[in-house]
């Protein structure tokens, strides 16, 4: 495997360039990380059950390539991989933010990241 060093700030990172790399992937894809404060009294087990119920709805969203449901101490949310920023913005509209705030009692934190390259890792 060939390693190509890249400088990022003061750190030196070596990224493997493998057959799984997708330099021909369409441009414009984005990742979005969403984090919401977990309401008082809501357990991780409850969240996991709600994630299971919500999965079919997310499978039908236009432009959504992949979604990971996430739980961290006192927060929950997701990591989304979208075909375009426009598709992501259509989902995370002002109405979505208002619904999330009304449902969970706090503003969601929604962060967008450009994805210039996506790779598939080694299979387990």
Specify if 77 maps to a domain.
yes
Specify if 80 maps to a domain.
yes
Give the pLDDT confidence of 106-115 residue by residue, as tens digits. Answer: 999 999 999 9
List of residues 6+ apart from 80 with CB closer than 8 A: 31, 32, 33, 34, 64, 66, 67, 68, 88, 91
Range of the domain at 100: 20-114
Please give the tally of structural domains in the chain.
1
Specify if 78 maps to a domain.
yes
Give the pLDDT confidence of 39-54 residue by residue, as tens digits. Answer: 999 999 999 999 999 9
Backbone angles phi, psi at 81, to 5 degrees: -120, 115
Global model pTM greater than 0.85: no
Specify if 5 maps to a domain.
no
Q: What is the pLDDT of residue 27?
A: 54
Specify if 1 maps to a domain.
no
Specify if 87 maps to a domain.
yes
The more confident residue out of 24 and 92 is 92
CATH number at residue 95: 3.30.70.100
> Please, which pLDDT band fits residue 124 given cuts at 50, 70 and 90?
confident
Specify if 104 maps to a domain.
yes
Asked whether residue 8 carries a pLDDT value surpassing 60, the answer given is no
* Residue 22: half-sphere exposure toward Cβ, Cα within 13 Å: 11
């Amino acid at each position: 495997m060939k390693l190509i060093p890249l400088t990022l700030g003061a750190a030196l990172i070596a990224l493997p360039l493998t057959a799984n790399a997708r330099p021909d992937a369409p441009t414009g894809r984005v990742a979005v990380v969403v984090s919401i404060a977990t309401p008082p009294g809501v357990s991780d087990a409850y969240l996991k059950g709600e994630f299971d119920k919500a999965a079919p709805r997310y499978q039908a969203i236009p432009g959504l390539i992949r979604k990971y449901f996430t739980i961290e101490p006192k927060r929950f949310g997701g990591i989304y991989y979208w075909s375009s920023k426009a598709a992501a913005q259509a989902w995370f509209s002002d109405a979505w933010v208002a619904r999330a705030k009304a449902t969970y009692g706090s503003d969601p934190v929604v962060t967008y990241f450009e994805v210039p390259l996506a790779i598939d890792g080694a299979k387990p």
